Homo-oligomer: A and B are copies of this chain.
Amino acid sequence: VKKRATAQQVADLAGVSKWTVIRAFSEGKSITEDSRAKVLKAAEELKYSPNLLARSLATNQTNQIAVLIDDFGNPHKLPFLEALTERLQAEHKMAMLVNLGPNYDMSAALTNADQRQVDGIILLGTAISAEAVENWREQSATLPLYVLARHTQVPGVVAVDCNAEIAISEIGSYLYGRGYRKPAFMTGPRNQSFALGRFQRFTDYWRDHGVENIAAIPAHRYSLEEGAAAIRAYLSATPVEQRADVIMCENDALALGALESARFEFKLRIPEDLAIVGFDNARLAARPSYDLTTYEQPIVPMVSTLVDMICGRRPAQSTSLKGRLVVRGSA
């Protein structure tokens, strides 16, 4: 097993000190062209490249960001991961992907990320409770904690999401304009961000327009399967005349599953018998099999904003970006 060359070995071969080698390999350092050339030549010969691990230990900066996810069942995570890794890599930062699950909870993930000295932690579409943050904060350093694609008011956490107020208002106007008057809402798993979430705003919108008592259809997780299960339960338990005329789902994963179940299991025509609206504009929403009316989250701007914060080019404060309604055939 051959060992990697070190700066010292390159220095010996080039006839300079190792600090000169370091300088040749870091930008913005003063070094003569002559020295640099000598170093580069020696490095080439020894196939040297700097050990980023050692650099991290010395600089106290790893250029690694932990990205925490808990629902791999939602295909919409993929474009977020794509944009996130792409933007981070452009800044020479890497994403450490963390799978939150029964064997690896939020607390374990935060602790481990911390021990690995990451520069920041991103919760991707995942909620965190105020107390979880508090517990962690008091036992651990002041690592930046970001939430992407989800609203949160938890102190000490910076959120970048899609503006729900504008979104729900646009969706509501559209639905109202199309004549729907019996809306229902499918919620994902309840959590701390629930209070100010999409459901609350949806309810508010309709109350302002004379419609009270919006039915809540609960889904256990964000996935097509759970969306289908949730609407199945709702439609089975609700007589036809009492059913909603439109169901807004908290996200596309739920909406896609709900749409399918309504169409194939209950033989409902979409949107004539039942209209469905999602949220995200996931790639699948555009497929002809679904053709889902939804609301587009501006993924790339959101990710760019977040990465700008991480790089210190923009103040780290919660930001909501405006998305846009995408009208298709389901409502």
CA distance A154 to B117 in the complex (A): 36
* Chain B: minimal CB distance from A300 (Å): 13
Interface contact A94-B96, CB-CB below 8 Å = yes
* Chain B: minimal CB distance from A84 (Å): 9
How many copies the complex holds: the figure is 2
CA distance A52 to B90 in the complex (A): 26
Interface contact B79-A72, CB-CB below 8 Å = yes
Query: Counting CB contacts under 8 A, is A238 at the interface?
Result: no
What interface size band does chain A fall in?
35 or more
* Chain B: minimal CB distance from A64 (Å): 7
A72-B78, A104-B89, A290-B289 given as contacts; is B1 within 8 A of A50 (CB)?
A: no
User: Contacts A72-B81, A75-B284 given; 14 further ones with Cβ under 8 A?
Assistant: A4-B141, A52-B112, A52-B115, A73-B283, A81-B99, A82-B99, A85-B99, A86-B99, A89-B104, A96-B96, A97-B97, A260-B289, A264-B288, A265-B288
Residues of B within 8 A of A29 (CB): none
Residues of B within 8 A of A104 (CB): 86, 89
What per-residue 1/0 map shows which CB atoms of A135-165 lie under 8 Å from chain B?
Answer: 0000111100000000000000000000000
Can you spell out 6 A-B residue pairs with CB atoms less than 8 angstroms apart?
A47-B140, A64-B96, A72-B82, A75-B283, A77-B78, A263-B289
Residues of B within 8 A of A94 (CB): 96-98, 112, 116
CA distance A81 to B2 in the complex (A): 32
* Chain B: minimal CB distance from A241 (Å): 26
* Chain B: minimal CB distance from A61 (Å): 10
Query: Counting CB contacts under 8 A, is A240 at the interface?
Result: no
What per-residue 1/0 map shows which CB atoms of A83-111 lie under 8 Å from chain B?
Answer: 00110011000111111010110000001
Query: Which B residue sits closest to A257, measured CB to CB?
Result: B287
CA distance A224 to B189 in the complex (A): 29
Closest 5 CB pairs of A and B: A72-B82, A85-B99, A289-B289, A264-B288, A75-B75
Query: Which B residue sits closest to A265, measured CB to CB?
Result: B288
